[in-house]
Amino acid sequence: MKLRKLFCGVALLLTTVMAQALDHSHAPWQTLLAKHVKPSASGNASAVDYAALKAERATLTAYLASLTAVSEAEYGQWSKPQRLAFLINAYNAFTVELILSKYPDLESIKDLGSVLQSPWKKKFFSLLGQERNLDDIEHGLIRAPGAFDDPRIHAAVVCASIGCPLLRAEAFVAERLDAQLDDGLRRFMADNSRNRFDSASGRLQVSKIFDWYGKDFEKGHKGYDSLKTTFARHAEQLVAAPEARSRVRNGDYRLEFLDYDWRLNDVRRADR
């Protein structure tokens, strides 16, 4: 009898643990992204149908709750790709949640901040057992020295702005993470509204992201050891004319950082 009770107790415990374990396919988030993220004609940018997403906010809320339920101990047992995919999805999903909290009465994520506090420093959710803000995920967890040291994340975390890289119409998942990060950076580089080379003037105009986070591209991860190397390896995306690509590969340009477009990446914008 005692053995049977013990067996039942263990079975109940295992069932509870399994029920609480995160689905690493991030299926609910995948479904929302596939339905409500609209890629541009080139496939190098995207806009979000926030109005339609707001109608399915309950699904987003349930997904965010599954992220919040993950303990630090559970997170620590995952593979590095599982951890990074989790954090990128969390950043992007909580950013969407922040936008929906005031949508449609905003033009930019910056409208959600104040003189004393930026929107990225608002603590409005829990993750890994602590009250967090968006900066905690990006800078405290993803960019923490020695955690991942992967500059490609700057084409993956998306702050709901036109100046950002595209929000993918799919969730990040561990088994495809490397390919997704590569693809995201390639598409970002190929979007000439954000990054472009003007062969006539010799100017390489790139996103302000490379100014803000240039040092992240100097750590040698995946061969990214400088901005110059980064631009050289993506010359094909940056330069439309094949005959001019050697100039970018050889560093023959004047580097300029473009102003960042903080307007909301809303599909309803007339200029999208």
Q: pLDDT of 192-246, one tens digit each?
A: 999 999 999 999 999 999 999 999 999 888 889 999 999 999 999 999 899 999 9
- Extents of the domains making up the chain: 23-193
Contacts of 259 (CB under 8 A, 6+ apart): 208
Percentage above 70 pLDDT, the chain: 92
Contact (CB, 8 A) for 122 and 133:
yes
At residue 9, the pLDDT reads 41
Q: What angle do CA 218, 222, 223 make, to 5 degrees?
A: 55
- What is the average pLDDT across 72-101? 98
Query: Taking residues 17-32, what's their average pLDDT?
Result: 83
Tell whether the model's pLDDT for residue 4 goes beyond 90. no
Among the ranges given (4-8, 50-54, 170-174), the one the predictor scored with the smallest mean pLDDT: 4-8
The pair phi, psi for residue 256, each rounded to 5°, is -135, 145
Q: Quick one: pLDDT band at residue 20, thresholds 50, 70, 90?
A: low
- Confidence (pLDDT) at 21: 82
What pLDDT, on the 0 to 100 scale, is given for residue 249?
A: 96
DSSP H or E stretch at residue 96:
helix 80-100
The H or E element containing residue 203 is strand 203-206
Across the range 102-131, mean pLDDT stands at 95
- Whether residue 16 has pLDDT greater than 90: no
| Pairwise pLDDT comparison (272 vs 113), residue with the higher score | 113
pLDDT of residue 221: 87
Residue 14 has what pLDDT?
34
Closest by CA to 258, choosing from 209, 200, 189, 186, is: 209
Query: Taking Cα atoms as reference points, which of 239, 258, 262 lies closest to residue 111?
Result: 262
- 10 has a pLDDT exceeding 60: no
Mean pLDDT lowest for which of 20-24, 106-110, 121-125, 151-155?
20-24
- Percentage with pLDDT > 90 across the chain: 86
Structure tokens at 97: 């949640």
Judging by DSSP bridges, how do beta strands 196-198 and 203-206 pair with one another? Answer: antiparallel
Average pLDDT over residues 89-114: 97
For the chain, give the mean pLDDT: 92
**Higher per-residue confidence, 19 vs 122:** 122
Residue 268 pLDDT level (bands cut at 50, 70, 90)? confident
Distance CA 135, CA 123 (A): 9
